[in-house]
Amino acid sequence: MNTDNKTYKKYAEARAKKSPVFKDCMLAFFVGGAICTLGHGLKKLYLLTDVSDDNAGMLASVTLIFLAILVTGLGKFDDIAKHAGAGTLVPITGFANAVSSCAIDNKSEGFILGVGAKIFTIAGPVILYGISAGVVYGVVYWVVTLL
């Protein structure tokens, strides 16, 4: 690193707002926990309607996705995430927000060139590398079980 970069790094660190790490971790923990508790409550509610356990879990996930997209569309998800941090971004709600926010931001460009082309801008790499990692791990597991 050259001298200019070191000087700038010191300058930036001196003026950067210090993050309250403990408070941020607690907010993320409690908000993420509240989202998961809501999902569990929804599953229990769906089980009362005599659906199977698997279907109740799927319905709870779909409901959480719907709620996250609704809150994103209303423009409130970012306000919540600003305070709750990873608590909103890690569960399924964060993935729903990542997909829907790109679609909402680009809807003015039309359904094909806007929504269709840009919907997976953020979530696309997550899907790609998640599937790729799953394939690699599956092949490694298969090879290990052959031995």
* pLDDT tens per residue, range 9-60: 888 877 877 888 898 889 989 999 999 999 999 999 999 998 999 999 999 9
- Alpha-carbon distance values, 40 to 33, 72, 95, 145 (Å): 10, 22, 18, 35
Q: Per-residue pLDDT for 73 more than 90?
A: no
What whole-number distance in Å separates Cα of residue 57 and Cα of residue 93?
15
Q: Per-residue pLDDT for 137 more than 90?
A: yes
pLDDT at position 3, please? 64
Give the pTM: 0.70
